[in-house]
Amino acid sequence: MRTASNLLHTARRIGLAAAGGLVCALALSAQAADFAVYPLRVFFAPGERSAAVGVNNTGGQPIRFQLSLVEWTQDAAGKDVYTESEELIFFPRLFTVQAGEQGVVRIGPKRAYAGKERTFRVFVDELPDDSAKPAASGITFSIRFAIPVFMGTLGTKAQGVIEPLALKDGKLLAAVRNDGSAHFRIESMEIVSDKGYSHKTDGWYLLAGARRLHTLDLPREACLAAHRLELRVKTIDGGDGYLNATIDVDPAQCGS
């Protein structure tokens, strides 16, 4: 099993971010506790049968967890779609981790896969502590962590493509496709003009066979000054490298 990182990713009560699959869900009576999950992603090469994920309780109270599994696909717009699944073995489905201790989750395939890479997410949900006193506001936070699981098959490979760019009303329209049989992740997308303007935004996973249209705003002044724009897409996680595309600028495309 290859792991993306050995660093702990800690989900905290305050300042939660929806990055790396971390989702904050409101709970009316549970008091959120700190915990950490690693590795952040799980990759299975063909023939590998089992992986372990650590769940560390970094808080001062026991935490109860529940696991669930979804198959992860992307629709025609490149949006994530989750479908309940029993394709993988994952256990324990209900467990408690004592303060300062670590629980271990086991994940594995039920069968060998062929064709393009299959993608799943294992949700680790913090369950409410029924013995805790409600917060004064009546609203507290519980935490869900989604672990991406990639089931590789022989010969799978990502293949990123940028379709011809379009510029309309000061917005750069960039469709990125994955024509390969394995995922990649867009780490960043950067617009660079021949007059020195640049702006970078974050990206997201693009699964095998998926396509996503990105709309990138361009300040009117920078658009009018430019003769040519370049889009630089940095890809990682299965498709390390850069994708590049350019477009000549017509001032009429810069909006009013």
pTM above 0.95, yes or no: no
Q: What is the CATH number of the domain that holds 245?
A: 2.60.40.10
Answer yes or no: do 147 and 183 share one domain: no
Answer yes or no: do 126 and 208 share one domain: no
Answer yes or no: do 139 and 176 share one domain: no
Residue linked to tokens 């008091």: 31
Answer yes or no: do 115 and 195 share one domain: no
Last residue in a domain, options 117, 151, 185: 151
The dihedrals phi and psi of 222, each to the nearest 5 degrees, come to: -70, -35
Last residue in a domain, options 151, 169, 195: 151
Answer yes or no: do 136 and 23 share one domain: yes
Q: What is the DSSP annotation of 152-165?
A: --TT----EEEPPP
Last residue in a domain, options 126, 151, 176: 151
Which residues form the domain of 94?
2-151
Domain count, the chain: 2
The secondary element (H helix, E strand) that includes residue 222 is helix 220-225
Answer yes or no: do 200 and 166 share one domain: yes
What is the torsional sign of CA 55, 58, 59, 62? Answer: positive
Give the span between the Cα atoms of 228 and 222, in whole angstroms.
11
Task: Kindly give the confidence (pLDDT) of every residue in the chain, 256 residues in length, as a single tens digit, with 9 standing for 90 and above.
Answer: 433 333 333 333 323 333 333 333 322 222 335 899 999 999 999 889 999 999 999 999 999 999 999 999 999 999 999 999 999 999 999 999 999 999 999 999 998 888 899 999 999 999 987 766 665 555 656 788 999 999 988 888 999 999 999 999 999 999 999 999 999 999 999 999 999 999 999 999 999 999 999 999 999 999 999 999 999 999 998 777 999 999 999 999 998 8
Answer yes or no: do 8 and 118 share one domain: yes
